[in-house]
Structure 1
Amino acid sequence: MVPYCKIDHVDKVFTRGSASTCVLKEITLDIEKGEYVSIIGHSGCGKSTLLNIVAGLTPATAGGIILEGHEVNEPGPDRAVVFQNHSLLPWLTVYDNVRLAVDKVFGRTKSRAERSEWVMHNLNLVQMAHAKDKRPSEISGGMKQRVGIARALAMEPKILLLDEPFGALDALTRTHLQDTVMGLHEKLGNTVMMITHDVDEAVLLSDRIIMMTNGPAAQIGEILTVPITRPRKRLELVSDPSFLKCRQRVLEFLYERHRYVEAA
């Protein structure tokens, strides 16, 4: 069976003057439709570079990305990205920030009223409809990220790309947003690829965790399947044997890589 998204033998080399650095080497990964995949590894292992290649923001040096049978070679609305920085336009309201994306994607296929309804539908999904007339400076960091997620979902992407979307948030806000994203994934069945440094976050949200070796020339070191049924409830997982076993394996992998760096 043809995979929904295929990362096919991807290499990435950055060249600056006469110096070249291989960041990624022979990255191959199949992602199925509706799957939630997390990429984890130490800083500098090329996680965000890989996500940017899937997004079409950075070209691969070798290999490529196939999404639902089509090669990815430029940015497109079928791949929506949510960055650690919310990237909202400060002069636009919450509503207008989402509306901008909706108009761009559906300007020719939905009426003005349908687009407005679609904006509000996605703001309701992330519980931000009440703040539709506020500007980014008037809402909290967690609320800004909710709007960013709403904007991404409103594009109806084939794959949602999350680049450490909760990394700049306080622990409580981060927890609430993790629960929001987990609930959205269970409700919508969307395909998600997420970059994270947080082991508990990866185990809580993911179907599979892709563990990267250290750079340069980082590769996929191990792929861990998370055998926890959905829907998942955070408090119940605290003592769940499968959760604890997965958490331990990811920590062991990362610790082994850390020792490797220290010995180098």
Structure 2
Amino acid sequence: MPAFLDISRLTIAFPKSPVPVLSDVELQIEKGEFVAVIGHSGCGKSTMLNVVAGLLEPTLGGVVLDGREIAGPGPDRAVVFQNHSLLPWLTCYENIKLAVDQTLKSSMGRKERHEWILHNLGLVRMMHAKDKRPHEISGGMKQRIGIGRALAMKPKVLLMDEPFGALDALTRAHLQDQVMQIHNDLGMTTMMITHDVDEAVLLSDRIVMLTNGPNAHVGEILHVDLPRPRDRLALANDPRFVNARAAVLEFLHARHTNPALEAA
């Protein structure tokens, strides 16, 4: 059976660059799977996500989602960026409402959409701030709204591009726990870009490690053998967590210190 999300022979080259950013990337993601993509800066992680989002056209190869080739942006894919990207003149409720009205107006009546917006505010624990505007809430709360807006679109795939990268450690941990809980509850197919090894191991079912760019490709894929639901405190000294973390660090360190391995 074909994979739910199939990235096949993906190559991305930009004008005036003699070497492609990504070369012949192959990755298959199953429905409900949480996959983290990790690698050094410049290896094309965000570029790959932008292709899946339909924001960037591939040079070669392509992406198929649920049997249909991706040829541009669509409501079946929702993106959470590092920057929350909220409209400052709208309230938290209205920011989510805008996405819901654009994607679900034909399938939901007004009252149903209202209840759906409130449901998603509740999912990200932001009901108390539904009437506040972005300048009135913290960075972590803004990201909660961004995640709630993405989920409210009922996408087939949730794409996250370093969504916690600009947050302090404590806020980051809280949001990681919340994303884990949402994934456990909804089974949402998720692809997340991250630089954080611990975050990748904690959240994902598989970690896709890209080689150094340019001309980056999938170097290794690590299956994270940790039961769900996961408790970060309980996992801190779990040998499986420690071993997975060490495997990713070893890959990243080897690729960083021995560029010749890229030709291997």
TM-score by length of 2: 0.97
- 1:29-108 → structure 2 map (5 Å cutoff): 29-108=27-106
Which string of whole-angstrom CA distances, capped at 9 and with x for unpartnered residues, describes residues 152-194 of structure 1? Answer: 0000110000000000000000000000000000000010000
Which residue does the alignment assign to 1:11? 11
2:218 counterpart of 1:204: no
* Amino acid aligned to 2:4: Y
2:190 counterpart of 1:183: no
- 1:1-264 → structure 2 map (5 Å cutoff): 1-16=1-16, 19-261=17-259
**In structure 1, distance between residues paired with 2:149 and 2:69:** 24
Secondary structure of the corresponding residue to residue 14 of structure 1: coil
Q: 1:109 to 1:48 in 2, by over 3 A?
A: same
**In structure 2, distance between residues paired with 1:258 and 1:5:** 29
Unaligned runs of 5+ in 1: none
How far did 1:261 drift? 4.5
* Amino acid aligned to 1:232: R
How far did 1:21 drift? 3.6
Which string of whole-angstrom CA distances, capped at 9 and with x for unpartnered residues, describes residues 117-162 of structure 1? Answer: 1000000000001100000000000000000000000001100000
Q: How many residues align?
A: 262
Structure 1 residue ranges, 4+ long, deviating more than 4 angstroms after superposition? 261-264
Unaligned runs of 5+ in 2: none
How far did 1:109 drift? 1.2
Q: Does structure 1 conserve the Cα–Cα contact (< 8 Å) formed by 2:159 and 2:192?
A: yes
Which string of whole-angstrom CA distances, capped at 9 and with x for unpartnered residues, describes residues 223-247 of structure 1? Answer: 0000001011110000101000000
* Amino acid aligned to 1:10: L
How far did 1:20 drift? 3.7
Q: 1:90 to 1:262 in 2, by over 3 A?
A: farther
TM-score by length of 1: 0.97
Q: Does structure 2 conserve the Cα–Cα contact (< 8 Å) formed by 1:15 and 1:21?
A: no
RMSD across aligned C-alpha pairs, in angstroms? 1.3
Q: Percent identity?
A: 63
Secondary structure of the corresponding residue to residue 239 of structure 1: coil
